[in-house]
Amino acid sequence: MTGTGGTTTSGLGVWAGAPAGDIPVGSARVPAREAAERELSKGMYHEGDPGPVERALHSFWEWITGMFDAASGVAPGGPLGIVVLVLLVLAPAAALWWRLGTPGRAARSADPLFRESGPRSAAEHRTTAEAHATALRWTEAVQERTRAIVRSLEERALLDPRPGRTADEAAAEAGRRLPEHADRLRAAAGTFDALTYGGRTADRNAYLAVSTLDGDLEAARPSAVGTPSSPASSRTPASSTTGGER
């Protein structure tokens, strides 16, 4: 059939018989899709989205969870076995940290016991310690009372006044002169190191312990032969040696 009608009928027949997938997409859909993408890219639609840090943490925990799941599949006891293994690894490390304190303590514990520019007497250190104790500053109180112990031993000529002496050195030297108190002297030096270099804190019992040791040492007499036994005579050299201390 020719003519306009035939042409129209032929055209309809072509489109009617064509597969659905061959129907061309109207060009108007492309601008519509681009407009929708532009609209959805606006910040108002993404206010609740997680930030970079949150996304990184989420990815990290997903990685940890994947590692844990993979390990629990081959570890004896499954997930419970993994927990036990982790505790077995962490327990010795925690015990070591508790015993030695924060890293670097061993190196810093060699610092001098006294850091002031000029010497202070044992009585002055005791006064300062009592002031700290009254204010419930137990760490400072224990530190000052330990310094009072060492200064008192120097004033009694049981220790030679020596700048730069550490708490451990003082405890070792004094323990040789007063062997019955050697263990408590070493314990006091260890406490001083833990407080000063290990980041620990003291309490009232720690102060009472070092304060009691200070009083017992005041009444103690050295075992070395030829050392004066009377309090007055044992303190006689203190004025000359302390006065010349730097």
Task: Give the global pTM.
Answer: 0.48
Helices (H), the chain: 4-17, 29-40, 52-74, 79-100, 105-108, 122-134, 138-155, 167-177, 182-196, 204-219, 231-234, 236-243
User: Residues 122-180: pLDDT tens digits?
Assistant: 999 999 999 999 999 999 999 999 999 999 999 999 998 888 889 999 999 999 999 99
Q: What's the rounded Cα separation, in Å, for the pair 213 and 3?
A: 125
**Per mean pLDDT, which range of 60-69, 111-120, 173-182, 215-224 is the poorest?**
111-120
Q: Which of 161, 216, 159, 229 is nearest to 187 (CA)?
A: 216
